[in-house]
Structure 1
Amino acid sequence: MGKMALWGAAGAIGQSIADALRAQGRPYRVVGRSLGGLKAAFGNDPLAEAVTWNPEDAASVRAAARGVDTLVYLVGVPYHDFGLHPVLMQRTLDAAIAEGVERIVLIGTVYPYGRPQTALVGEGHPREPHTFKGQMRKRQEDLVLAADAAGRIRGTVLRLPDFYGPRADKSFLYSAFQTALAGGTANLVGPIDVPHEFVFVPDVGPVVLSLADEPGAYGRFWNLAGAGATTQRALVERIFAEAGRAPRFRVASKLMLRLLGLRDPFLRELVEMHYLLTNPVLLDDTALRGLLGTVRKTSYDEGIRLTLRAMAAKERMPGAA
């Protein structure tokens, strides 16, 4: 397979895919808005080619897609501006098709499913998003699958649950890892005793590469489940125990999110998706495992140890914040 482009590469999932490409010795392109950010994340990797894009400039988008065979789409947008998701996807698809890109893999979320109607949610579960954010994510998926059905580009979607791990500073669990290492009180969003699942970020990259390389993966979407159902409380207690500290945390309720949201736009937007903590979407990835065979999933115990070790090492690095 030819060169792969990681579109919106600088986040934790993008870096996981880059790690997997590096392990295979495969050259790749990282695409983002800031060359400085790309250089900071990938500048030490001779296999990585850093390219910027401006989604407002069609020529810029086409230039970023030029010369690659597979595009992995990881672009994030501000939480208060989710209407951009289908807009940016359409612009990227148009550019990729014009440049002859053969395949696109969208890294998606559970949002398009809406409230779960079954204990485990497989790909056959209805996509009935009741939130604006879910509707925008569904429109984004539909654009990819429609382009595939029309024969314009091969397209597939990989849906992920919440995640944690090194560099995953947007995880619900990140505050617990920070305070377990440095002391203090972790900030959590409750309820924290409802079943939930998390995927360990370093496990995602190899799955994405296997999916992208599999001809039978295209024309539909796939679930990647976490390492099993657990709870936020169980994981946070395990994080603190591994760090040798007694657990200390405070839990924000939905009402508290509304109050805090008066000053914090992100928390205000989080209220809309709070149902995922009270009515969690637990993914069934039987189909993905049937397609790819073995899908490695790091246990929560091992993932917690590895995350704490990586974060502690980063803190010891000269110049680390």
Structure 2
Amino acid sequence: MMSNSKVLVLGATGGIGGEVARHLADTGWQVSALARRQVVGEHPAVHWLLGDAMDASAVAKAAKGCEVIVHAVNPPGYKNWAGLALPMLEHTLAAAKAQKATVLLPGTLYNYGPDSFPLIDEAAPQQPLTRKGVIRVAMEQRLRAFADEGGQAIVVRAGDFFGPRAGNNWFAQWVRPGKAVTRVVNPGSCGHQWAYLPDLAKAMVEVLVKRQQLPAFSNLHFEGHWDSDGKQMANAIADVARRYTGKAPKMTGFPWAWVPALGLFNETLRELNEMRYLWQQPVRLDNSQLQALLGAEPHTPLHQAVEESLRGLGCL
């Protein structure tokens, strides 16, 4: 379905923000994107604006005339979540209130603890185990409050991202970007949820098209690819790599034992260690409400999605 609606995407230089911005533009939306640096060579129909999501006036100016704001922005370098994540969201909500715009937030699994596992439905309690999870819960609570105040907020939650332009993600840690795949590092050995970004972006845009059918606050789960035994993704990477090189990559586990000590000196590794529990037990999203709204999720077959992702990383 084509649209002439105007939308602002925050975080369009990132994986999911960029994918959503491109798909919105492809389907006829008038897309503006706010970035802290000059952007060249991206989608020609995306109107890039210089500005920082930490600058309330820049966000308010960029959002003028918008019916939707996609809040896909993360703290620079994925650092200082405690100091930056909620202020950036407040700037989005202030702009959305002024424009009477819908806010769309890509949600995470960090919100949930083991009490909600193994199958997480949309009404599951959010009792996170990590610092970032606590912040993500606070963000969604603020969205609920925004909806109670008369706005509309939508969370579309997914598992770990992968895709040809996915940016910082677990998939890229399994291989060496820019190098042929000779080794696949698998951090888990149980069921795990994956989201192919082009499919997720299409689903999010379809949700936005149907936003008038939704209540003031919606929490929708995207299933994507369910790796039931924790080996299907690794095997798919190996299968695709073998077709190109003629040799099977070596399969190894992730060096979790080293992460706690290294995390004493590195914030990212410290957070990584906190997230380990998501790889130690099956964690699956129930997408019943999203399916009821869309009929079916956009879905690229796993091997095709893996091949496109590896090509995007420069591994093929």
- Scaled by the length of structure 1, the TM-score of the pair is 0.86
Give ranges in structure 2 of 5+ residues lacking alignment: none
Indicate the residue corresponding to 1:32 in structure 2: 35
Q: Which string of whole-angstrom CA distances, capped at 9 and with x for unpartnered residues, describes residues 11-46 of structure 1?
A: 111222123223323321111222x2x334x2xx33
Alignment partner, residue 262 of structure 2: 260
Q: Which residue of 2 aligns with 1:236?
A: 234
Q: Which digits, 9 at most, give the CA deviation of each residue in 1:220-248, with x for residues without a partner? A: 21111122233443322321221223122
Paired residue for 2:143?
144
CA distance in 2, matches of 1:135, 1:73: 18
Give the match for residue 307 of structure 1: 309
User: Partner residue of 2:119?
Assistant: 120
Which residue, 283, 286, 292 being the options, matches 2:285?
283
Residue equivalent to 2:95? 95
Distance 2:248 2:297 in 1: 34
What is the CA-CA distance between 1:266 and the residue it aligns to? 1.1
The equivalent of 1:204 in structure 2 is 200
User: What is the letter of the counterpart of residue 143 of structure 1?
Assistant: R
Cα distance, 1:154 vs structure 2: 1.4
Q: Distance in 2 between matches of 1:222 and 1:88?
A: 22
| 2:18 corresponding residue in structure 1 | 15
What's the secondary structure of 1:197's corresponding residue? strand
1:182 is aligned to 2:157: no
In the alignment, what sits opposite 2:134? Answer: 135
Superposed displacement of residue 107, structure 1: 1.1
Give the SS at the match of 1:93.
Answer: helix
Q: Which amino acid aligns with 1:71?
A: I
Q: TM-score, normalised by structure 2?
A: 0.88
Change over 3 Å in CA distance of 1:304–1:46 after alignment to 2: closer
| Whole-angstrom distance in 2 between the partners of 1:59 and 1:136 | 24
Question: Quick one: distance in 1 between partners of 2:50 and 2:100?
Answer: 17
Task: Confirm whether residue 54 of structure 1 aligns to residue 52 of structure 2.
Answer: yes
Specify the SS of the correspondent of 2:5: coil
The 8 Å contact of residues 26 and 47 in structure 1, kept in 2 or not, is answered as no
For 2:66, what is the secondary structure of its paired residue? coil
- Aligned-pair CA distance for 1:187: 4.2
Structure in which a larger fraction of residues adopt strand: 2
Q: Structure 1's 79 and 272: CA in aligned 2 closer, same or farther, altered over 3 A?
A: farther
Q: Distance in 1 between matches of 2:257 and 2:166?
A: 26
Return the letter of the residue paired with 1:135. V
SS at match of 2:260: helix
Q: How many residues of Structure 1 are paired with residues of Structure 2 in the alignment? A: 305
1:180–1:243 CA contact under 8 A, matched in 2? no
Q: Is the 8 A contact 1:5 1:68 kept in 2?
A: yes
Aligned to 1:39, the other structure's residue is in SS state coil
Aligned to 1:107: 106
Gaps of 5+ in 1: 317-321
Report the Cα distance in structure 2 between the residues aligned to 1:57 and 1:15, rounded to whole angstroms. 20
The CA distance in 2 between the partners of 1:138 and 1:308, in whole Å, is: 32
Q: Report what 1:319 is aligned to.
A: none
Taking only the aligned residue pairs, the percentage that are identical comes to 27
2: CA distance, partners of 1:180 / 1:10: 20
Alpha-carbon spacing, 1:273–1:25, altered in 2? closer, same or farther (3 Å): same
Displacement of 1:263 in angstroms is 4.1
